């Protein structure tokens, strides 16, 4: 029986082209999380090489009247259900940002903690990315506004409408992780400028879904 020939750059192949980007890139399902006590954003994407598909995205709403402890339980429960339904292989979350208010830091940290417990409870590895890197990966501009991130997620994923800002952030977090795992060089400043011109054109312009 003839021996099966593996693709160039496949881990088991003897043929390696160091100058080329990998032709063999395993598929990956990623859960992206943008934690917030009142509106945690979530997204699950499938990625294979340069192709990325959104499976689901949305927010976990907690009304102002709901006590904080019940908000945390809602975040944990919803994320746990998502993990059971979509079976992501890994997760990504935004790194803690600096805030001057101690109260705000505690609230943000508690929401983040609820999300981390849900992910850890499912046995998933989780990777953190700073906010500026996420925005740069998504739009080519580290100081992009929320509406610009939302617009770019619609463009890049072929969505029918601009996703809500918190959900868009979660999509951007998941996509940042996909790029970091598959093509780390794509996160270098010189290679994300192509998106910067597009996102800057959306500034001061109303985007109609």
CA distance 178 to 180: 5
Give the pLDDT confidence score for residue 106 in this predicted structure. Answer: 81
Active site residue 17: no
Answer for the pair 32, 177: CB distance below 8 angstroms, yes or no. Answer: yes
Task: Indicate the pTM of the whole model.
Answer: 0.76
Superfamily of domain 28-201: Ribonuclease H-like superfamily/Ribonuclease H (3.30.420.10)
* Sign for the pseudo-dihedral over CA of 168, 173, 178, 180: positive
Calculate the alpha carbon distances from 157 to 8, 52, 163, 171 in Å.
28, 7, 11, 9
The answer to whether 46 is a known catalytic residue is no
Q: Which of 4, 17, 34, 69 is catalytic?
A: 34
Return the domain boundaries, the chain: 28-201
Q: What is residue 100's predicted lDDT score, i.e. its pLDDT? A: 65
Per DSSP, the three-state class of 152 is helix
Confirm whether 34 is a catalytic residue.
yes
Pick from 22, 25, 78, 57: nearest CA to 173: 57
Kindly name the residue from 69, 94, 147, 169 that is annotated as catalytic.
94
Residues in the chain with pLDDT values less than 50: 1-24, 189-209
E strand spans, 101-160:
126-129
Check: CB of residue 9 under 8 Å from CB of residue 17.
yes
Q: What is the pLDDT of residues 137-164, one digit of tens each?
A: 888 877 888 889 999 999 999 999 999 9
């Amino acid at each position: 029986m003839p021996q099966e020939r593996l693709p160039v750059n496949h881990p088991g192949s003897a043929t390696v082209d160091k100058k080329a980007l990998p032709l063999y890139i395993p598929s990956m399902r990623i859960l992206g999380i943008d934690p917030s006590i009142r509106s945690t954003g979530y997204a699950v994407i499938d990625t294979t090489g340069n192709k990325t598909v959104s499976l689901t995205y949305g927010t976990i709403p907690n009304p102002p009247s709901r006590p904080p402890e019940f908000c945390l339980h809602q975040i944990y429960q919803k994320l746990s259900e998502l993990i059971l339904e979509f079976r992501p292989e890994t997760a990504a979350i935004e790194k803690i940002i600096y805030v001057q208010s101690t109260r705000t830091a505690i609230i943000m940290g508690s929401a983040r903690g609820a999300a981390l417990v849900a992910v850890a409870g499912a046995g998933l590895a989780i990777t953190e990315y700073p906010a500026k890197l996420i925005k740069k990966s998504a739009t080519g501009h580290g100081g992009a506004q929320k509406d610009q991130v939302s617009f770019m997620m619609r463009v890049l994923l072929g969505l029918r409408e601009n996703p809500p800002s918190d959900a868009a952030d979660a999509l951007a977090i998941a996509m940042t992780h996909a790029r970091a795992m598959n093509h780390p060089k794509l996160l270098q400043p010189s290679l994300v400028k192509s998106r910067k011109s597009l996102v800057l054109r959306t500034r001061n312009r109303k985007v109609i879904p």
